[in-house]
């Protein structure tokens, strides 16, 4: 009896092993079936009536989350209500696609293998509730195992390459600045300073780190100054008084200015900027205009005569051009020649030894050339160049000239180029055009500041994206605003354009505008 029980138990144990083995085989088959629900590739059909190179748009396939989407959204206004798709699969037996057409409440279903050219309405891709988005179900060869995918064709809700602007609050800037006789915004270290002089020739200074909160104004013990001549090397300020003397401030905390002997032997006339720690200036030597280069740490002053077509006043604040292929250059644009009347539209570069015209802006695209002007604003920023062959937008360093005075009127036009020696384009009629809210101006100061993109719906002075202004373009939709506000740690370069005058007889514009190419603010779509 005991032997029979032992044999019986052995059979039971063997059966258990068999059942366990079968379970393992089933699990392997299940794993293999899941692999057969994989989407190997996905793209849209070519349709030049909708968009050139539509078939080259790259789509991300997230197998783990079951999501298919284009991270680089299609251009603003692209019609995605009738797009056919091309998809390949690992070893699928059936593929079913569900979508909603227009405003119809009824869902449409079709078999992709039977009708792969069916055009699908993707206009519900931004459905906040995710109820009407396009869904695709891929069935494995066993006919029962399947995986569902959400397909989204993202489209920009704003014109991505537009230059958007918003006016910042200026209530903290002293009201007396509205009556400024001259002024200059300037950067030194982490601070941005506003120096201004009222109609009584009393000078003041206030500073900020964010153009929103300003320090209490300081009264400066100085004779009447030409604040538009102010320059800085980051450690000190240099400025010329109305009676032609050079003053310097070597302590940015006390803001104590003293007369300087750096240009001793010459009459200081204009200060251009700094290059390689050397001051670049314009002086008069026995009535002759000369370029002067001097090291503030001491040393001999180098001078060269100024050519007759070089601007001696009204030139822009400088931009430093750096390149891995050559030495840094200091760049200025436009201004007034030595006769005090003739205006120029030339862009000049200085390499530390010689000055040269980089571009006498007589040709260009979109209605250029640039008219001669004085008091223009020059800055380097970014635009995107589109390569249709690869459907790639590449961020490129771009130079902008804004406003100025053409001899009769203050201007508010904008010109740009990605090549200082090449063609300049006018922004008029393009997404880079300045909005109507920005007044014509000359002598505005501009800075490009990298800031971390954070939530926009607090009361701490952060940007409210709904307030950004753009001509003929809708406000940013709330859904996109919320999407961006959830992201953090995104560094975005913003333009700050501050101050300026509405006429050649100084009439200070107490405004600060903040601008951005909106494409630079987009976080990666996940």
- Whole-angstrom distance, CA of residue 59 vs CA of residue 363: 41
What is the secondary structure of 39-63 as a DSSP string?
EEEEEEPPBTTTBTTGGG---EEET
**Residue 490 burial (C-beta neighbours within 10 Å; 0-12, 13-18, 19+):** middle
> According to the model, what pLDDT value does residue 184 have?
96
Residue 147 has pLDDT above 50, yes or no: yes
Residue 458 has pLDDT above 60, yes or no: no
Percent of all residues in the chain with a pLDDT value above 70, rounded to a whole number: 83
Each residue of 387-445: pLDDT tens digit? 877 777 889 999 999 999 999 999 999 999 998 888 889 999 999 999 999 999 999 99
> According to the model, what pLDDT value does residue 389 have?
75
> According to the model, what pLDDT value does residue 330 have?
97
> According to the model, what pLDDT value does residue 16 have?
42
Each residue of 250-296: pLDDT tens digit? 999 999 999 999 999 999 999 999 999 999 999 999 999 999 999 98
Alpha-carbon dihedral of residues 174, 175, 181, 184, nearest 10 degrees? 40
Residue 462 has pLDDT above 70, yes or no: no
Each residue of 494-524: pLDDT tens digit? 999 999 999 998 899 989 999 999 888 887 6
| Average pLDDT over the chain, rounded to an integer | 85
Each residue of 300-351: pLDDT tens digit? 789 999 999 999 999 999 999 887 667 899 999 999 999 999 999 999 999 9
Spell 18-49 as b/e; 16+ CB within 10 A means b.
eeeeeeeeeeeeeeebeebbbbeebbbeeeee
Find the helix or strand (DSSP H, E) in which 5 lies.
helix 2-35
Determine the Cα angle at 238 with ends 234 and 240, to 5°. Answer: 160
Each residue of 477-499: pLDDT tens digit? 333 333 334 444 678 999 999 99
Nearest residue to 519 (alpha-carbon basis) of 368, 436, 415, 398? 398
Give the residues across from 326 on adjacent strands.
Answer: 323
Residue 223 has pLDDT above 70, yes or no: yes
Residue 455 has pLDDT above 50, yes or no: no
Residue 17 has pLDDT above 60, yes or no: no
Residue 461 has pLDDT above 50, yes or no: no
What is the secondary structure of 294-323 as a DSSP string?
E-TTS-PPEEEEPPTTS-SBSPPPPEEEEE
Helix, strand, coil content of the chain in percent (nearest 5): 10, 45, 45
> According to the model, what pLDDT value does residue 95 have?
97
Each residue of 164-195: pLDDT tens digit? 999 886 656 777 677 888 999 999 989 999 99
> According to the model, what pLDDT value does residue 525 have?
57
């Amino acid at each position: 009896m005991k032997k029979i029980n032992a044999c019986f138990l052995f059979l039971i144990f063997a059966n258990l092993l068999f059942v366990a083995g079968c379970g393992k085989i089933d699990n392997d088959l299940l794993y293999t079936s899941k692999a057969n629900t994989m989407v190997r590739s996905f793209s849209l059909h070519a349709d030049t009536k909708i968009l050139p190179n539509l078939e080259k748009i790259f789509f991300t396939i997230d197998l783990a989350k079951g999501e298919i989407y284009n991270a680089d959204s299609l251009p603003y206004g692209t019609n995605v209500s009738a797009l056919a798709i091309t998809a390949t699969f690992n070893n699928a037996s059936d593929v079913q696609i569900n979508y909603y057409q227009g405003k119809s409440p009824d869902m449409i279903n079709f078999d992709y293998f039977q009708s792969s050219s069916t055009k699908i309405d993707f206009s519900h891709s931004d459905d906040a509730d995710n109820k009407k988005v396009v869904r695709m179900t891929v069935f494995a060869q066993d006919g029962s195992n399947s995986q569902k995918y959400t397909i989204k064709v993202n489209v920009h809700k704003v014109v991505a390459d537009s230059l958007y602007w918003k006016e910042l609050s200026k209530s903290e800037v002293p009201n007396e600045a509205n009556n400024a006789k001259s002024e200059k915004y300037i950067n030194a270290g982490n601070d941005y300073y506003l120096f201004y002089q009222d109609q009584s020739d009393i000078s003041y200074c206030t500073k900020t780190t964010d153009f929103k909160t300003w320090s209490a104004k300081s009264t400066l013990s100085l004779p009447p100054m030409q604040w538009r001549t102010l320059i800085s090397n980051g450690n000190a300020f240099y400025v010329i008084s109305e009676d032609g003397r050079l003053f310097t401030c070597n302590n940015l905390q006390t803001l104590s200015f003293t007369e300087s002997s750096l240009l001793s032997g010459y009459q200081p006339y204009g200060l251009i900027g700094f290059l390689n720690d050397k001051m670049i200036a314009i002086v008069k030597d026995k009535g002759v205009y000369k370029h002067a280069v001097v090291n503030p740490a001491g040393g001999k002053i180098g001078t060269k005569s100024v050519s007759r077509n070089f601007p001696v006043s009204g030139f822009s604040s400088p931009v430093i051009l750096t390149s891995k292929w050559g030495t840094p250059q200091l760049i200025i644009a436009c201004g007034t020649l030595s006769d005090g009347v003739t205006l120029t539209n030339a862009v000049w570069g200085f390499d530390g030894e010689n000055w040269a015209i980089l571009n006498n802006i007589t040709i260009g695209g979109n209605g250029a050339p640039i008219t001669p002007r004085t008091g223009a604003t020059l800055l380097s920023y970014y635009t995107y160049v589109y390569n249709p062959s690869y459907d790639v937008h590449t961020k490129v360093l771009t130079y902008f000239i804004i406003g100025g005075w053409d001899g009769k009127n203050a201007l508010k036009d904008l010109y740009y180029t990605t090549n200082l020696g090449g063609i300049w384009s006018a922004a008029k009629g393009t997404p880079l055009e300045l909005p109507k809210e920005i007044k014509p101006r000359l002598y505005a100061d501009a800075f490009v500041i990298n800031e971390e993109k954070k939530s926009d719906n607090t009361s701490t002075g952060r940007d409210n994206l709904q307030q950004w202004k753009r001509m003929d373009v809708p406000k940013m939709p709330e859904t996109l605003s919320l999407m961006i506000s959830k992201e953090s740690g995104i560094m975005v370069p913003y333009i700050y354009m501050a101050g300026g005058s509405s006429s050649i007889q100084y009439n200070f514009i107490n405004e600060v505008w903040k601008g951005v190419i909106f494409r630079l603010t987009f976080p990666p779509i996940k």
